[in-house]
A and B are shown apart, each in its own frame.
Chain A
Amino acid sequence: MSHYPRKLDLAHGRIDMTHGSGGRAMAQLVDELFAPAFRNDYLAQGNDQAILPPPGGRLAIATDSHVISPLFFPGGDIGSLAVHGTVNDLAMGGATPLYLSAGFILEEGLPLADLKRIVDSMAAAARDAGVRIVTGDTKVVERGHGDGVYISTTGIGVVADGVQLCGSQARPGDAILVSGTLGEHGMAVMSQRENLGFASPIVSDSAALHTLAAALMAASPGLRLMRDPTRGGLATTLNEIARQSGVGMQLQEDAIPLQPAVRAACEFLGLDPLYVANEGKLIAVCPAAEADAALAALRAHPLGRHAANIGQVVADPHHFVRVRTPFGGERLLDWLAGEMLPRIC
């Protein structure tokens, strides 16, 4: 660390254009902030690329960009989210996540203290998930051209022999499971937006799902597919699966687990919790005969305690996702159209 006359001022310093110039200021940012947090042998090679040992199976790769406002929210921040998002995309294919790359777009003026907090949170999330951040990049954009920080992560994982999960494999008769209560991430973030200003106890569910996914795969050998219902929520994800598999779905509305606080906040804002984002939940489709075992495995895991069987796959040429309401009526659970907007009246 003796290359630099003065240490980075992590308490009061801010990102400026020199941190993206490729010069000494950028090197110092990497050496004093990123490298110590993400420390591992591959990163320590100090090259433009990480050279990794041969994996023991098929490779899975996934990429995800994170552009969240606010950067910090109850239950997480953009750093932990950037790890969980990509880890979960790998895990939904049955992969064991191994490595991540991380690209940072930093906005001029971002407090270094905030960046440090984000990077530390990212490092902790990666450590907890057992993945290593092995290569990265930072760029700086002028003030007003970014929301503080954007993080793009790409993950590599390995898929064991015989694991063959795919969104096209849902079959009529299959059971549809969710791993817990829905909508917490989206509502936690929304409650922090300054112009909404409602106090709520809702905490983001942001979490790495690969151990939950592994438990589920062990309990349900015939498991068809897993998906994490992020943007667009349960409704959008089920519509994607229905279209990909060429099937319809029939859900029981009162079986779908929701926290009372999420229901109340959605009610208040005129939103439908089934369209609200999750960052620590999975949807699984499995043969009906394996549903009980799969559900038991989910519920035995700390991240799946509130798992539920919410309905079944049906034959339907229109690929509609239908919901039976507690009234005994039926409604369509459609794709999200445009952006989710609160109603006026």
Chain B
Amino acid sequence: MKYVDEFRRGDVARGLAARIAEAVQPGRSYRLMEFCGGHTHAIARYGLTGLLPAAVQLIHGPGCPVCVLPIGRIDSAIELALQHGAIVCSYGDCLRVPASNKLSLYKARALGGDVRMVYSTADALQIARDNPTRQVVFFAIGFETTTPPTALALKTARAEGLRNFSVFCNHVLTPPAMQHLLAAGDAVQLDGFIGPSHVSTVIGSAPYQAVADAYAKPVVIAGFEPLDVLQSVLMLVERINRGEAGVATQFTRAVTTDGNATARAVVAETLVLRPTFEWRGLGQVPQSALAIHPDYADFDAELRFGLPYRHVPDHRACECAAILRGQKQPQDCKVFGIVCTPDNPLGSCMVSSEGACAAHYHYGRFTAPQEQPA
């Protein structure tokens, strides 16, 4: 497959791995956080950890859209479906995230809620057009990658006067989360970031500069293909050796300094910064999420349905919070693979294939020989 196979070549991977092994300096640690779930998935899917020298440690970050969504937000989406009788449209991964009372959007559907999986906001708009007598809510989640389509849906709904459509906005922002991770009192020791891929196609590489400068860390924006990740690791190792901070881009085929101006403009027109937002694992993070712009208040599901936000604590045994902060690995969690499995997830990291726990469970758990057979 053209433009894909080139980025998955084993011979090139081995060449890069050899160069990384050569570049690594004795006595130095290279603790690299891959921010995005897309990277976590690629690392697990292609067995990249096994190609790296022991000195290079990859630490999973919080960049998995469904993983960082707090339980209270899923509860609200379920409430929209069950109590308000709305058609709730959501991206597929969201449906299985465990919420309060042993519910999920999937289980809400089995209880009679009208929950529909969509592939794009255009599908949600079409559902609203097709069901003029029903309230249709798009459950908007994700980082800057999925934000422009939500923004466009708001514009379209307003232009068409689609009164039965609204958006329950939960979009979150990457740079504030990186800063929060580095600033936290219990911050995990990091030597560099494998920076977001698709997110950066929208926002560009510039927004990471402030974080990189403030904490003197190198950030290398990396594509999601396995060779992208390996090349970025090499770039980070070289920068760490030179003591060089700042932002560099490996994913040059898609990322520019300023990103996609059209997409950023439509987001700026329809969405505004929230003063603070709860992230699963990270807690309240200031200026880290978007709400619907007052000009589009008519399409804001939180206002239309008067949704109150309630904080809901994680399951006691679940280590998702520490895993999302990079402090623990999935296998450090007592319930990993025993009570918490992809079929019956306790925590959000076990849900999406981009979640650290699900990625390790699906692709890597044979590397932990102490586990009991399933």
B1-17, CB under 8 A of A: which get 1 and which 0? 10010001110011000
Q: Which of B46, B64, B118, B342 is A337 in contact with, Cβ under 8 Å?
A: B342
| Contact between chains at A196 and B119 (CB < 8 Å) | yes
| Contact between chains at B51 and A329 (CB < 8 Å) | yes
| Contact between chains at B343 and A337 (CB < 8 Å) | yes
The CA of A275 and the CA of B374, in the complex, are separated in Å by 20
Minimum distance in angstroms from A246 CB to a CB of chain B: 10
| Contact between chains at B374 and A318 (CB < 8 Å) | yes
Instruction: Tell whether A58 is near chain B: CB-to-CB under 8 Å.
Output: no
| Contact between chains at B38 and A345 (CB < 8 Å) | yes
| Contact between chains at A195 and B119 (CB < 8 Å) | yes
Number of interface residues of B (CB under 8 A): 58
| Contact between chains at A332 and B1 (CB < 8 Å) | no
Instruction: Tell whether B74 is near chain A: CB-to-CB under 8 Å.
Output: no
Number of interface residues of A (CB under 8 A): 29
| Contact between chains at A343 and B353 (CB < 8 Å) | yes
Minimum distance in angstroms from A189 CB to a CB of chain B: 15
A317 cross-chain contacts in B, Cβ below 8 A: 373
| Contact between chains at A325 and B10 (CB < 8 Å) | yes
A342 cross-chain contacts in B, Cβ below 8 A: 91-93, 119
Which residue of the partner chain A has the closest CB to B362?
A334
Instruction: Tell whether B152 is near chain A: CB-to-CB under 8 Å.
Output: no
One of B21-29, B140-148, B238-246, B319-327 contacting the partner:
B140-148
| Contact between chains at A325 and B46 (CB < 8 Å) | yes
A sample of 19 inter-chain contacts (CB < 8 A) reads A267-B1, A267-B4, A318-B366, A318-B371, A326-B9, A327-B48, A328-B47, A330-B50, A331-B46, A332-B365, A341-B92, A342-B91, A343-B354, A344-B93, A344-B94, A344-B146, A344-B352, A344-B354, A345-B146
Instruction: Tell whether B341 is near chain A: CB-to-CB under 8 Å.
Output: yes
A281 cross-chain contacts in B, Cβ below 8 A: none
The CA of A227 and the CA of B6, in the complex, are separated in Å by 34
Extra pairs beyond A345-B63, A345-B354 (19, CB < 8 Å): A263-B1, A264-B1, A317-B373, A318-B374, A319-B373, A326-B9, A327-B47, A328-B14, A328-B47, A329-B46, A331-B45, A331-B362, A331-B363, A331-B364, A339-B92, A341-B95, A344-B92, A345-B145, A345-B146
The residue in B10, B47, B48 that gathers the most chain A C-beta atoms within 10 A of its C-beta is B47
Q: Which of A196, A318, A319, A345 is B142 in contact with, Cβ under 8 Å?
A: A345
